[in-house]
């Protein structure tokens, strides 16, 4: 997981740690199957440091919590720690614990951004770029209520049932099924980037049908980054299923908005964290008086190839309905510098929960993300990829849930789309 903290003054560092320690990433009621095996949500807690991990005086011990879907839901959910809106973003993970885990649940831990298990041989500890692919660990729970007492990631090294005790808890019902490591155990510390949780199905598990899309229309064009334009653009109806952008950082932009062939209630959630989408400079210096690494708008750019993508994904079981970019007319800037509305400007997204019919957890629609697309240039030229006409469309009956970018308008953008599954009744 790349660590490049959003602009945050050092004076409020303790507040950041407190916030990390008290949030969770998923609502445990998000299910599309029936008869969960437990009413108590399972949790996975990740522990580690923020800031400069090479500093021997770094005492920023913190943690974040992932709530696990109930047993019987038959779901696969990836938690991407490099997402700047993730509650685990900024955390360089050292240890893990689990409580109240549902039965027959599989947990994959890996330093690959996308929970892939193909290993590589690159290791850069400073900012943990996506080229770090040095380990994966597969765990499985036994009976309902399985527990993993706090344990270092590097200590998960022997196949079989795990036994340890920590913080007045004793591990029970957790098996290390398999693992692989291409380097030393040291390379497993501070590099965890993705957690995949696969909950089991049972005889009562039911799955709804895949939702089909109805009318899809492009919005009117606006010039992205134009000082006279409102920075935030949302679908007035429906959700985003495509995006158009062609030209410079102030080129024409449109959103493609999709409605549905059945009654769907859309519950919009608050706008995401703002971040600089120009990427993360892998050679960026640590700014000690601000408690963070250099951001892309502060870096001396000679080659965008040395920058890592900023990957944004909507929270679990939410879809994208809007995007904002370039807040140069607003005073609420950050400590990385002015927002001048170009590729270095701030970006945020709005996501939404979907329900069949009316807003009720029993009517919640499940979101099933696919793989990230291959990169395309933002401006449509062949500078870093094939020339294109600016249009991106999700596959049939899929909607947008993620977008990634690095560099200026001549550099690369990736998208993530998802299918939608109706609740089972």
| Cα-Cα end-to-end distance for the chain | 39
**C-alpha separations of 148 from 97, 326, 412 in Å:** 5, 44, 40
Kindly tell me if the per-residue pLDDT of 302 is higher than 80: no
Could you count the other beta carbons within 10 Å of the beta carbon of residue 12?
A: 12
Per this entry, what is the length of the chain?
425
Asked if 218 and 158 sit in the same domain, the reply is no
Higher-confidence residue of 181 and 329: namely: 181
Q: Which domain holds residue 379?
A: 213-421
In a domain, 263, yes or no: yes
What's the chain's Rg over C-alpha atoms?
21
In a domain, 357, yes or no: yes
Asked if 295 and 417 sit in the same domain, the reply is yes
Kindly tell me if the per-residue pLDDT of 231 is higher than 70: yes
Closest CA to 131 of 372, 371, 309: 309
In a domain, 54, yes or no: yes
Tell me which of 198, 223, 240 is where a domain ends. 198
Contacts of 374 (CB under 8 A, 6+ apart): 385, 414
For the four alpha carbons of 376, 380, 385 and 391, in that order, the dihedral sign comes to positive
Q: Are 310 and 276 in contact (CB under 8 A)?
A: yes
Distance, in Å, from the CA atom of 185 to the CA atom of 153, rounded to the nearest integer, reads 9
Kindly tell me if the per-residue pLDDT of 307 is higher than 60: yes
Distance, in Å, from the CA atom of 79 to the CA atom of 90, rounded to the nearest integer, reads 14
pLDDT tens, position by position, 384-420: 556 677 889 999 999 999 999 988 777 789 999 999 9
Asked if 180 and 217 sit in the same domain, the reply is no
Asked if 185 and 307 sit in the same domain, the reply is no
Tell me which of 138, 167, 198 is where a domain ends. 198
Determine the 3-state secondary structure of 18 from DSSP.
helix
The number of domains in the chain is 2
In a domain, 392, yes or no: yes
Asked if 24 and 54 sit in the same domain, the reply is yes
In a domain, 204, yes or no: no
Tell me which of 171, 198, 225 is where a domain ends. 198
Distance, in Å, from the CA atom of 390 to the CA atom of 243, rounded to the nearest integer, reads 8
In a domain, 3, yes or no: no
Q: Are 132 and 110 in contact (CB under 8 A)?
A: no
Looking at residue 334, its pLDDT comes to: 79
Asked if 239 and 175 sit in the same domain, the reply is no
Looking at residue 329, its pLDDT comes to: 66
**C-alpha separations of 216 from 108, 212, 238, 256, 401 in Å:** 37, 12, 9, 7, 16
In a domain, 21, yes or no: yes
Higher-confidence residue of 279 and 398: namely: 398
pTM of the model: 0.88
The DSSP call for residue 186 is G
Q: What is the mean pLDDT of the chain?
A: 87
Q: Are 160 and 203 in contact (CB under 8 A)?
A: no
Asked if 172 and 217 sit in the same domain, the reply is no
Asked if 35 and 158 sit in the same domain, the reply is yes
φ and ψ of 186, to 5 deg: -60, -30
Q: Which pLDDT band, with edges at 50, 70 and 90, does 19 fall under?
A: very low
pLDDT tens, position by position, 99-128: 999 999 999 999 999 999 999 999 998 888
pLDDT (mean) for 152-157: 97
- DSSP-assigned letters across all residues of 189-238: TT---EEEEE----TT----PBPPEEEEEEPPPEETT-TTS-SEEE-SSS
Distance, in Å, from the CA atom of 143 to the CA atom of 307, rounded to the nearest integer, reads 44
Asked if 267 and 405 sit in the same domain, the reply is yes
Residue 64 bridge partners (DSSP): 46
Asked if 177 and 298 sit in the same domain, the reply is no
Distance, in Å, from the CA atom of 10 to the CA atom of 292, rounded to the nearest integer, reads 8
Asked if 165 and 300 sit in the same domain, the reply is no
Kindly tell me if the per-residue pLDDT of 18 is higher than 50: no
Asked if 404 and 276 sit in the same domain, the reply is yes
In a domain, 220, yes or no: yes
Residue 424 φ/ψ region, left for φ over 0, alpha for ψ in the -120 to 50 degree band, beta for the rest? beta
């Amino acid at each position: 997981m790349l660590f490049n903290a959003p602009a945050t003054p050092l004076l409020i560092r303790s507040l950041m740690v407190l916030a990390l320690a008290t949030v969770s990433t998923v609502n445990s009621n998000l299910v599309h199957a029936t008869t969960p095996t437990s009413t108590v949500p399972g949790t996975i807690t990740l522990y580690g440091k923020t800031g400069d991990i090479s500093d021997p005086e770094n005492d920023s011990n913190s943690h974040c919590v992932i709530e696990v879907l109930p047993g019987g839901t038959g779901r696969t959910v990836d938690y991407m720690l490099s997402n700047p809106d993730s509650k685990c973003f900024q955390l360089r993970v050292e240890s893990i614990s689990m409580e109240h885990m549902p039965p027959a649940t599989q947990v994959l831990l890996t330093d690959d951004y996308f929970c892939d298990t193909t290993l590589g041989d690159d290791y850069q500890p400073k900012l943990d770029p996506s080229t770090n692919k040095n380990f994966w660990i597969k765990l499985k729970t036994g009976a309902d209520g399985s527990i993993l007492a706090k344990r270092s990631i590097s200590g998960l090294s022997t196949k079989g049932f795990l036994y340890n005790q920590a913080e007045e808890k004793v591990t029970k019902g957790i098996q290390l099924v398999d693992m692989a490591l291409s380097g030393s155990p040291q390379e497993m510390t501070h590099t965890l980037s993705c957690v995949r949780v696969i909950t089991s199905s049972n005889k009562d598990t039911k799955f709804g049908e895949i939702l089909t899309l109805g009318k899809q229309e492009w919005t009117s064009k606006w010039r992205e980054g134009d000082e006279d334009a409102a920075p935030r653009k949302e679908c007035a109806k429906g959700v985003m299923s495509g995006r158009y952008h062609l030209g410079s950082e102030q080129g024409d932009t449109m959103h493609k908005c999709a409605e549905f062939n059945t009654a769907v209630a859309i519950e919009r959630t608050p706008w995401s964290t703002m971040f600089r989408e120009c990427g993360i400079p892998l050679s960026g210096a640590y700014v000690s008086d601000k408690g963070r690494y250099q951001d892309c708008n502060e870096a001396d750019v000679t080659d965008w190839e040395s920058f890592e993508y900023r990957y944004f994904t909507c929270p679990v079981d939410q879809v994208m309905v809007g995007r904002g970019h370039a807040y140069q007319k607003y005073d609420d800037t950050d400590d990385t510098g002015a927002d001048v509305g170009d590729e270095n400007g701030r970006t945020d997204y709005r996501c939404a929960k979907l329900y069949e019919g009316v807003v009720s957890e029993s009517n919640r629609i499940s979101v099933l993300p696919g793989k990230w697309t291959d990169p395309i240039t933002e401006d449509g030229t062949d500078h870093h990829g094939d020339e294109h006409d600016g249009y991106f469309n999700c596959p049939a009956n899929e909607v947008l849930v993620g977008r990634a970018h690095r560099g200026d308008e001549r550099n690369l953008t990736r998208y993530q789309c998802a299918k939608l599954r109706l609740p089972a009744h």
